[in-house]
Amino acid sequence: MLEGVGEIAAKKRVLRHVVLFRYKPEVTAAQLDEINRAFQDLQRQIPEVRDFERGINNSPEGLAKGFTHGYLITFGSEADRDAYLPHPAHKKFVEMLGGKLEEPFVFDYWTVE
């Protein structure tokens, strides 16, 4: 059993949806701004999104493997996340990314607030 799982179950749990992007070198600063704004706007468009954070890698460890931008979306439940994924606003955002990413990385985990 994973350490801390019992503690998480006993407190207010939230589901974190971590998204990391490694952009293609030809993506411009203007395109990055547009993507960042569109991603952040999903919080306004999709009621299941509780919170949204974003940032640029600042780690001195050199282990980012080219991933430069990170996004953290918080949901109250798996049902909320499952409503977000096929939501038309999310699908439109994913289409916007077409041809701009070398690689995305997505990782979801439960934690407490």
pLDDT tens for each residue of the chain, 113 residues long: 455 666 656 578 999 999 999 999 999 999 999 999 999 999 999 999 999 999 999 999 999 999 999 999 999 999 999 999 999 999 999 999 999 999 999 999 999 98
Amino acid 2: pLDDT: 58
CA distances from 86 to 41, 80, 92, 93 (A): 16, 11, 10, 11
Is it true that domain 13-112 has CATH number 3.40.120.10?
no
Domain ranges, ordered by start, for the chain? 13-112
Residues 6+ apart with CB under 8 A from 17: 72, 73, 74, 75, 81, 84, 106, 108
| Dist. CA 20–CA 17, nearest whole Å | 10
